């Protein structure tokens, strides 16, 4: 798997989906304004968790497996793994169909947010993007995923 360029399908799409999920999970203001208010266009917290693991199977193995494709290096992989583990632990406790508040009020959520933030910042900067911009809507993400190099 090594040596494959990052923009080969489907790696860049998987990376942008993982980044999108981590971005949303890392942003408490977004969570309050969008997830808690039920605003359309961004999916809910369960969608974000799903986007993190559905194609990557990061619920089954380490992001280290993807170094050289979705993941740039071992440090990035380690940060992603911590975030995924913290988020999945909460998912398993609250249940997949839980409302946003069940996640956001969970005692371990701030730690998940912090871990996601660290992973998000590293991935965004590695891709030459501003980590502090707002999360993209799912529609924008889909357009980006179709048109990325």
Query: How many Cβ atoms from other residues are within 10 Å of residue 39's Cβ?
Result: 11
Q: What is the pLDDT of residue 105?
A: 96
Higher pLDDT, 145 or 42: 42
Tens-digit pLDDT profile for residues 45-100: 999 999 999 889 999 999 999 999 999 999 999 999 999 999 999 999 999 889 99
- Enter the tokens of residue 67: 């170094």
pLDDT confidence tier of residue 148, bands split at 50, 70 and 90 = low
pLDDT at 110 over 90: yes
Cβ–Cβ under 8 Å, residues 131 and 125: yes
Instruction: Return d(Cα 88, Cα 91) in angstroms, integer.
Output: 5
């Amino acid at each position: 798997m090594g040596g494959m360029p990052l923009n080969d399908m489907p790696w860049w799409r998987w990376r942008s989906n993982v980044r999108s999920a981590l971005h949303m999970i890392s942003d408490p203001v977004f969570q309050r304004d969008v997830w808690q208010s039920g605003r359309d266009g961004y999916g809910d917290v369960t969608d974000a968790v799903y986007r993190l693991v559905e194609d990557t199977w990061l619920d089954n193995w380490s992001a280290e497996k993807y170094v050289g494709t979705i993941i740039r290096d071992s440090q990035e992989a380690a940060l992603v793994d911590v975030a995924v583990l913290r988020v999945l632990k909460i998912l398993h406790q609250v249940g997949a169909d839980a409302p946003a508040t069940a996640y956001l009020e969970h005692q371990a959520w701030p730690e998940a947010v912090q871990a996601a933030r660290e992973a998000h910042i590293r991935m965004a900067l590695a891709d030459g993007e501003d980590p502090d911009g707002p999360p993209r809507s799912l529609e924008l993400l889909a357009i980006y995923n179709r048109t990325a190099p």
